[in-house]
Copies of this chain bind each other. A is one copy, B any other.
Amino acid sequence: MSDLVTRLRRHNWRITPQRRVIAETLEGSHVHFTAEEILERACERMPELSRATVYNTLNEMVALGEVLELALDGRSKRYDPGVDEEHHHLICEGCGLMKDVHAVTDPLGWLPADERHGFAVTRASVTYRGRCPDCQDA
């Protein structure tokens, strides 16, 4: 696995200073940031960075297939740079905490042909929900 900027460059995609800061902010942490969280953190390094550029850049990285867009809770979308590592997500219904998890089988294999409605099915993602250790007492 190579870093996100390297992967992005392979698409002949211009790595401007703004795009580099956004990519590095996204990849630097292992949580799943919203666009606003990325804007806030990236602005610490590049204060004049605009909101529109953050949204545009994230959408382009998703379109290039190098970042995953997660819309799991009906609030802000979250962005996941770990597109190369097959994984799913576990979400706390109390506090919203999100963890990566690695399931043991490929869910695509568990969908019978007669349940596919003629679709060409390409991806399957599993969302596990429950309560994190901190939220189990409350």
Contacts and interface: CB of A to CB of B under 8 A. Distances in A.
A47 interface: no
Given A71-B71, A122-B129, A104 B99 contact: no
A90 B116 contact: yes
Most buried by B among A102, A121, A128, A130: A128
A2 interface: no
A85 interface: no
A20 to B, nearest CB: 25
Interface of A: 69, 71-74, 77, 90, 92-93, 99, 101-105, 107-108, 110-112, 115-133, 136
Given A77-B74, A124-B126, A119 B107 contact: no
Contacts of A101: 111, 115-117
A116 B131 CA distance: 10
**Which 3 residue pairs of A and B lie closest in terms of their CB atoms, listed nearest first?**
A71-B74, A121-B130, A118-B133
